[in-house]
Amino acid sequence: MTTWLAGPNQLDPLGDAEQLKNAGGVKKNYAKVGSGRPSSLLFTYGPGAIMDLPHFTVMPSGLDAWEKIWARRDGTPHVHAPKLLDAVRKQLGPQVTELRPFPHQPETSSFGDEGRDLGVPSIVFPQWLRCTGCNRLAPLTTFEYRNSHPYRPDEARFEHVGCPGFSKTAKGGGKKRSLALPARYLLACTNGHLDEFPYALWVHHGKACPQAEVPHLRMLESTISRGASATIECASCGAKRGMNEAQGAAGKAKLPACRGRHPHLDAYATGGCDAGTHLMLIGASNLWFPILQRVIVMPMDAGERKQNLADRLKAALGDKVAKYGDDLDTLRDVAEGRIDLTEVSDAALADAVAAALAPPPPVAAEPADWSPIDLMVPEWNYLKLDAAGDHHEDPVSGLTVRNRALDPQLPPGISRVLAVEKLREATALLGFTRIDEMDRIDDLPARQAPLSLAAPTWVVATENRGEGIFLELAEDAVATWEAKVEASGLWQAHKEAHRRNFYNRMSQTATVVDPDSRLRPPRYWLLHTFAHVLFREMAMSSGYGAASISERIYAWQATDQHPPAAGVLLLTTSSDSDGTLGGLVQLSEPERLRRLINAALKRAFRCSSDPVCAHRTPHAPEDFLHGAACHCCTMASETSCERANRFLDRRFLLELPGPYADLGFFPVPP
């Protein structure tokens, strides 16, 4: 995925390419500065995040800037995931009409220009740089941008022209061209704002320099890349101040108030911001947390098909739906090339037009009444059904499932197995937070940083194709086991540890949310641990690495809104259009699955860290969110686990030796 610079001095990569051709090979200034996979731009470097490049850092812009990119093409592709779109609407508003992929067009050759004008627009941020030749600290405009090779974006850089070096005074001239790197300090707040660090005000203790209107600053590093170790020096008046004064609780009181800046939108929050600022480093792991929603794309019912067609009409035709809604033949002609209506009957098209022109429905509930479980219930309801015949494929969603018989020697408690031969997984980015990650989007809406200036009409999404195995546990057995666990001392210890962990987060979220409402029920711990030991064992038989297999856990108790669930989908996906190769599905064959599950449970019974691991129980002041689990036996990579290795305990899976030996759901295999 191309990333290129945008900003006040607008750089046009397509224009540069044309000028290069017309100038007979004269090198021009190229705006393309790097590339990234859609997954990295969604999970790590989305709008508002900071992406490290070889010589400077950039921040992907908000969705408003992306509109100019899509405008270079006649049509805009979309990601088909109706249930995901409905979930996005419930959180961002009914004006959202579509899910779009990242701007990209594959090149036909390594030297082609196709798609060179597409990509994710970005800005240089932070825009204060430090010269490596003389320690000059100055804004971006002081330095010269160089990016002369069209096929070497890694050579893009900012240089200090006329750098005097260390052998001369900072005010003297020179002939050197020294590399300038980003100054690594920033200010952030819990409401999602991010700003440059005010170096001039900092070194002068909030006042102006007495000797110069634009002071000559230098950044002196005493220990490279170890916290706030730099010293800011004003060469104009001689003032000095260390950045270590801005650290900790005492340093926070010395920082300026938040200005409410959203650099990815080139805007400031209306009315300012009342949150305190925090000193941040460019590479801090808590600088950007994406707010994501993910679904397995399921077949649509009649109502969803009508709404889906209405959404596609609005996205593809806009105002023309109202203009030609009474003349379906003309509407079909206008839609030709934009949306395929050849298989749509006149009656279905008329219903979709009426739905598209209908006023948006009133919001039925506050966002706090919505739960991520609501997004998983339709998946659970569909996967609980046997396939229509031995094998069933839905042509729209692409979901293909096959019934599997149960091996007689399969461990008791497993009631059903389904081979998911093909599936599509769609993920949408709704916004982001800073400083602290929200477990759910509706904790504190003020903390969610927006992706656009106005309410978005679309959000960016990705889709992967893959395969999986769905296993369901018997609800009566799970309910009986769960009641036993909830009455145990081990469960009480986990509850207390979860409360301590929640309040130790030192965030605004922890002060307004009941921690018990975030603790997953015992059945989740059971299925989560079961999933981990299974895909660790699967990695030895399926041809996929353990980091390539992920989990989707359906584990909740019955409420007034939905029935209970106890199942897990183990899947592997790929962004390639062909998906995966079937190695995981083959493991669902009855005999092979029985051998795999028994081997996984037998391996999980012993850990090289036992008895320490098997007896691990949190006690005050400990606040870890796992029990008998460690990297030797149960924990997995972050690409596999949906809960960052929290809520794991082998004692809920098997009867391990120790004080809680009677809580295992499965018997230990012989």
pLDDT at 235 over 50: yes
Is 309 in contact with 352 (CB distance < 8 Å)?
yes
C-alpha distances out from residue 134 to 127, 369, 525, Å:
18, 57, 56
pLDDT tier, 366 (very low <50, low <70, confident <90, very high otherwise) = very low
Predicted local confidence at residue 667, as pLDDT: 92
How many Å apart are CA 670 and CA 659, to the nearest integer? 22
Cβ count within 10 A of residue 212: 13
How many Å apart are CA 631 and CA 437, to the nearest integer? 24
pLDDT in tens, 623-654: 999 999 999 999 998 888 988 899 999 999 99
pLDDT at 501 over 60: yes
Q: Is 253 helix (H, G, I), strand (E, B) or coil?
A: coil
C-alpha distances out from residue 593 to 403, 414, 419, 586, 668, Å:
14, 11, 11, 9, 16
pLDDT at 605 over 80: yes
Predicted local confidence at residue 8, as pLDDT: 43
For the ranges 281-285, 344-348, 367-371, which has the lowest average pLDDT?
367-371
pLDDT tier, 4 (very low <50, low <70, confident <90, very high otherwise) = very low
291 closest CA partner among 133, 431, 450, 462: 431
DSSP one-letter string for 314-371: HHHHTTHHHHHTT-HHHHHHHHTTTS--TT--HHHHHHHHHHHHSPPPPP-S-GGG--
Is 585 in contact with 563 (CB distance < 8 Å)?
no
Structure tokens at 218: 């230098």
How big is the CA angle at 382 (ends 381 and 383), to the nearest 5 degrees?
Answer: 95
Mean pLDDT across 31-49: 86
Helix (H) or strand (E) holding 404: strand 400-404
Predicted local confidence at residue 94, as pLDDT: 85
Q: Is 548 helix (H, G, I), strand (E, B) or coil?
A: helix
Instruction: Please state the φ and ψ torsions of residue 297, each to the nearest 5 degrees.
Output: -70, 120
Mean pLDDT across 284-311: 84
Mean pLDDT across 215-239: 82
Mean pLDDT across 237-264: 90
C-alpha distances out from residue 409 to 412, 592, 595, Å:
8, 11, 9
b (16+ CB within 10 A) / e for 568-578: bbbbbbbeeee
DSSP one-letter string for 160-184: EEEE--SSS-TTS---EEEEEEE--
Is 376 in contact with 554 (CB distance < 8 Å)?
yes
pLDDT at 23 over 80: no
pLDDT tier, 11 (very low <50, low <70, confident <90, very high otherwise) = very low
Predicted local confidence at residue 440, as pLDDT: 46
Strands (E), 183-277: 185-188, 194-196, 217-221, 230-234, 240-242, 261-262, 267-268
**DSSP-H helix ranges across 215-296:** 248-252
Give the residue with greater pLDDT, 668 vs 107.
668
Residue for token pair 């893959």:
466
Instruction: Please state the φ and ψ torsions of residue 445, each to the nearest 5 degrees.
Output: -55, -30
Predicted local confidence at residue 9, as pLDDT: 40
pLDDT tier, 589 (very low <50, low <70, confident <90, very high otherwise) = very high
Residue type, 423: L
pLDDT tier, 42 (very low <50, low <70, confident <90, very high otherwise) = confident
**Residues in Cβ contact with 211 at an 8 Å cutoff, skipping those fewer than 6 apart:** 236, 237
Predicted local confidence at residue 521, as pLDDT: 96
Helix (H) or strand (E) holding 43: helix 38-43
What's the whole-number average pLDDT of the chain?
Answer: 84
C-alpha distances out from residue 550 to 70, 405, 532, 533, Å:
33, 23, 9, 12
Predicted local confidence at residue 27, as pLDDT: 47
pLDDT at 176 over 50: yes
Mean pLDDT across 471-500: 96
Percent of the chain with pLDDT over 90: 43
Q: Is 87 helix (H, G, I), strand (E, B) or coil?
A: helix
pLDDT at 7 over 60: no
pLDDT at 34 over 90: no
Predicted local confidence at residue 219, as pLDDT: 92
Is 618 in contact with 627 (CB distance < 8 Å)?
yes
For the ranges 57-66, 197-206, 317-326, 552-561, which has the lowest average pLDDT?
317-326
Is 604 in contact with 443 (CB distance < 8 Å)?
no
Structure tokens at 469: 């195995």
How many Å apart are CA 276 and CA 196, to the nearest integer? 15
Residue for token pair 């096959």:
402
pLDDT at 392 over 60: yes
pLDDT at 98 over 80: yes
pLDDT in tens, 303-345: 777 777 887 787 777 788 887 778 788 888 888 877 878 778 8
pTM assigned to the model: 0.85
pLDDT at 16 over 60: no
Mean pLDDT across 588-610: 94
How many Å apart are CA 648 and CA 630, to the nearest integer? 9
Question: Torsion angle of alpha carbons 529, 582, 99, 101, nearest 10°?
Answer: 110
Mean pLDDT across 146-154: 79
Structure tokens at 569: 């989908």
Predicted local confidence at residue 1, as pLDDT: 47
Spacing of C-alpha 491 from chain mean position: 31
pLDDT at 362 over 90: no
